[in-house]
């Protein structure tokens, strides 16, 4: 069982450094869309799934990561950093 922080560290960071293929990264994003840490984050244009959809459609990964961080990083670190999300 992995925790959300491990996925961010082992999949997101390596992609940003060119150490993970775009295909693997897109697969990770699609899977992350299904593990929204807080149901309140699911709604609207700034919702977790909407941000991921935009990243997948436009290939603007850096902008999407920044948008997600601006919207959720504080609450994520406080409440969801160590949330189990199953095998990834």
Give the pLDDT score at 81: 82
As a three-state string, the secondary structure of 14-58 is HHHCCCCCHHHHHHHHHHHCCCCCCHHHHCCCCCHHHHHHHHHHH
Put simply, whether the predicted model's pTM sits higher than 0.85 gets the answer no
Give the pLDDT score at 82: 86
Walk along the chain (88 residues) and give the pLDDT tens digit of each residue: 688 888 888 888 899 899 999 999 999 999 888 888 888 998 888 899 999 999 999 998 989 989 988 999 899 888 888 888 777 6
């Amino acid at each position: 069982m992995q925790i959300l922080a491990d996925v961010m560290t082992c999949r997101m960071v390596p992609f940003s450094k060119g150490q993970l293929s775009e295909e693997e990264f897109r697969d990770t994003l699609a899977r992350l869309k299904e593990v929204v840490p807080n149901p309140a984050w699911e709604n609207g244009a700034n919702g977790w799934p909407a941000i991921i959809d935009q990243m997948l459609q436009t290939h603007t990964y850096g902008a999407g990561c920044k948008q997600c961080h601006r919207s959720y990083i504080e609450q994520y670190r406080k409440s969801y950093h160590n949330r189990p999300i199953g095998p990834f």
